[in-house]
Structure 1
């Protein structure tokens, strides 16, 4: 059993905070609902952060008035053990690196900044992610393409889903009156734009690239999840259609029965 680590505590201005490297915040120990974000409320200088602080209200300053600058150490300095464990590195590998260097794969970032688009594996086939054109292009043949608009966003907005025909490599619509499982059709789930290409998303929507990458680093290997049709709405749809056919059959049978013959 892994031994639980003692939480890392950092103090300034006579207030103590728990260092949360997962959410990248300082959380006030006596009021956990009060958080200070390293991303949104501090300026990253690489080896440290600068926090504009309102000493009267004891909160991050919202303007230059009465703002006192506080130098906050990097997460690597505050919790090197936690950062090493979180990002699968040894403490020695952290030397000379910044928080951003550790959180974001620098080789993958350079490749993306040099114009190399990410790729995603869909049912064993590689597709190039092109957010500018809102499409996934077959990496080898460049055709067919899958329009992101042909997929549906999940209710939480974090994934795309759709029914997919692997041989034709196309998103398909199911017959709403089907009574059997469709042959060769699968359901796929893949990340939304941020998960597919955070750099491209930042450029298209005018977002701060470094801040977005700190929250959602580039994923080296993207792979669509295959969802069995048995775990979708398809079985329920098939059952409903079969029951409807049975009702229609019974109605037709009743109409075809001969009426009572008169007695003579």
Structure 2
């Protein structure tokens, strides 16, 4: 199997409980090479981590800068790379797909909120269907569900709302769903409610943490900007030692 998209797609399936696909999030070419050298089979860029490396606040990176950064990351490694492109930067589906393919990635995250507000799920499903139609199998789309990080009307059952959105997105063709911020104890019900792999948000605390998320139903683990922030903390500690040493 030489097609990078097919390789990446296959990595999500037939996972045994406790053995989820772990995708570190590189923020630049150097971190991408480090993760590849460590033996990870694929990578997934975090928009917030890339934004920080470029000097922008999360959600404030111009599209051209984000795609250029993602292209540098993808070009620095031989393993498949998926890109977090937030809500798509307002690009039409065909243009978004073209930009992603030009950047050399095999997939993307697309979130269902903008400006801090959840989007209408049916409209989001239609947008996902448009992206997938334009991609024609050339991209693996991970549909982020923001119900745990955005305000919901009082009395809303967050699990039911999340599963409802996830099912719509899967029906539109999304191959993975990502309820970012979902508590670990919600994962079994969320995983049982969908027919596509479930992406959970992990913490960099070693294999035991990712194994537990896999046992709870996650097929894929990503970390958002946490790894970039750990690296920044390490640099801060080094700077303090140099300053006071």
Q: TM-score, normalised by structure 1?
A: 0.21
**Bigger share in strand:** 1
If you compute each CA radius of gyration, which structure gives the higher value, 1 or 2? 1
Greater RCO, 1 or 2 (C-alpha within 8 Å, sep 6+): 2
Q: TM-score, normalised by structure 2?
A: 0.22
**Bigger share in helix:** 2
